[in-house]
Chain A
Amino acid sequence: MSGTNRPRRGWGARLVILIPALWLAVFFAVPFLIVLKISLSQSAIAQPPYTPVLDLAAGWQGLKDWAAGLSLESYALLASDSLYVSSYLRSLQIAALSTAILLLIGYPIAYGIARAPRRMQAVLVMAIVLPFLTAFLIRIYALVTILQREGLLNDALLALSLVREPLVWLSTDTAIVIGIVYSYLPFMVLPLYASLEKMDDTLLEAAADLGCPWWKAFWLVTVPLSAPGIVAGALLCFIPIVGEFVIPDLLGGSDALMIGQTLWTEFFSNKDWPAASALAVALLAILLVPIMIYQHIQMRALEHR
């Protein structure tokens, strides 16, 4: 039905599309191609630390030599060493768990804000964003002091007699998840709030009128209508969490690494640029899957407008 009678795009409209396209080209496509190029090289003790190096001054012959030197060796390395695969799996696992917890905590918060009186809503949204005014690193270091053995969390648990001895929090996966959930909460709450705030209350009255108790109407009406917010919030959290480096590095243990840490190690400790680049390219490929699912859902939603 759509597309047949859509007006032709004028020059103005094309120009408007050109701006984000240029932005993507300069800040995404070009850097990605450079990373892709490096991932096809081999590590070397040189400056830069990989071969072959593209020598454009040598002209056509230089390009040919360069192309002949490329290989998939780094990718073979990724597949052969279980360290990398488990690192990916661990990242996906922590990201999935954190996103699920974020959704469980974020949905009631967003729902509460959307139900609050109009004047209060702006204040509450501000309160959600407020922690961001403090530098990220300071907040994570503050968490370190809270989670350490003589930290606030253990003090509170001991005072409440919930535990007999202080628990170990730091350098565990629990600490990583706590840090991630704390840091990413606004990214979950804001899109959820945006979709819940738009909801028409008479739809809930209509559901009640048709014989549906309020708690059931929540599942049958509110949740499906906030699906775009759920998907947006989940992706907005899941994707950056998979590549998260600072939080697991400061709060997590050193035995099992998330992919961001593995990448960091390859790049800065091992100086293996091609392996690090291959890790980055593979990560992008993995993350493309949820993004494409999101796109598919969005297109379907648009078709129903």
Chain B
Amino acid sequence: MNGSSDKTRPLLRFEGVVKRFGDVPAVDRVSLDIHEGEFFALLGPSGCGKTTLLRMLAGFEQLTEGHILLDGQDIGDVPPHRRPVNMMFQSYALFPHLTVAGNVAFGLKQEALPKSEIESRVSAMLALVRLEGYGGRKPQQLSGGQRQRVALARALVKRPRVLLLDEPLSALDRKLREETRFELVELQQRLGLTFIIVTHDQHEAMIMADRIGVMNRGQLVQVGPPSEVYEQPNSRWVAGFIGDINLIEGRVAATGPQGTEIKSETAGRLHAAQPADVSLGTSVWLAVRPEKVSIAAHAPEGSQTNVFAGKVADIGYLGNSSLYKVKLDNGLVMTAVVANRTRLLERPIGRYDRVWLSFPSDAGVVLTR
């Protein structure tokens, strides 16, 4: 986002990182580069190994295989207290016997800085996270949102090369969480720091991150900017994890610069603008996001590619949009989401109405797995 991602050497490099607990791999052959100034999100369902990967970077877990390089140096043998990375723990892990200021000063005292510098950096940091006047309180006397900011301040005050945030917003209520997302991004850009955030919430990852690494069962299955991961998922699993998706199975009938022709036993002929790098006859899935599907009460004129007739099975009113579940004549169920631009007094399409769904060629992505 701030242009440093084109630097030749990455700030941080994971090389074939494996972590096994017993026989079970919690992190499986992860290779990844993270650049200076990046806001990177590790996204995946609970138990997929995100925290374990972060803990290896912080030094709390030994790697079973592979290397982690910071500024080109292997940090495998560096103990946690000597690593120039800091972690904001999911539970915040604030010291209950110290005040807010004591918590924030803790890390600076380990660096044996002069007392005056510690004091000025602590108060500047408390101001940055809007906790002036709270320095003398104990963590137990703060609200959840305030504790979260103390934990953030305590890690940030160390000026880490990389700040690790493990589900930093999961303990906050919805409204506070949404506000805090933007605050974190703003803070990261203002300080020019590198953030790695762990989350299981795809909205959170998409709103905040420059790049997302999607994890499943210990493996990093796709890495890219939010729009790419959303628009060009590389598997059915990623497509389904990042939002809703319609999947239509078929075989490749033709592929080339003009796009890919897919023949489906159930849905007839389909066309995707994107060429597929597979041989003819390969079984594939055409993935289409619900908001790219149009719904109409009449059969569209002209080309009948990517057009399906069916009956509305269910309608969900989402406020800013409406969701239609349509049972197609071929037996499939497809979902279309249509923005509610005008305030409709009567909906033109109702339940059990006969409708036609269609989408343009460039709306679908051909997936092979």
A-to-B contact residues, CB < 8 Å: 200, 202-203, 205-214, 216, 220-221, 224-225, 227, 304-305
Contact = CB atoms under 8 A, between A and B. Distances in A.
A206 B158 contact: no
9 contacts: A200-B91, A202-B89, A205-B60, A209-B81, A210-B154, A212-B81, A212-B110, A213-B79, A304-B141
B43 interface: no
A163 to B, nearest CB: 44
B106 A212 contact: yes
Contacts of B141: 304
B86 interface: yes
Contacts of B154: 210
Interface residues of B, number: 26
Contacts of A224: 97
A211 B111 contact: yes
**List of 4 A-B pairs having minimum Cβ-Cβ separation, nearest first:** A210-B107, A211-B110, A206-B93, A208-B80
Given A205-B89, A304-B138, A304-B140, A210 B110 contact: yes
B150 to A, nearest CB: 12
Contacts of B238: none
A205 B106 CA distance: 13
B87 interface: yes
Nearest to A225: B97
B134 interface: no
Interface string B104-124: 001100110000000000000
B81 A203 contact: no
B230 interface: no
Contacts of B87: 205-206, 209
Contacts of B96: 225
Contacts of A221: 95, 97
Contact of A202 (B80, B93, B155): B93
B58 interface: yes
A210 B91 contact: no
B86 A209 contact: yes
Contacts of B80: 205, 208-209
Nearest to B141: A304
Interface string B78-106: 01111000110101011111000000001
Contacts of A200: 91, 93
Contacts of B107: 210-212
Contacts of A304: 138, 140-141
Given A208-B81, A209-B80, A211-B82, 6 more contacts: A206-B94, A209-B86, A210-B106, A211-B158, A221-B97, A305-B140
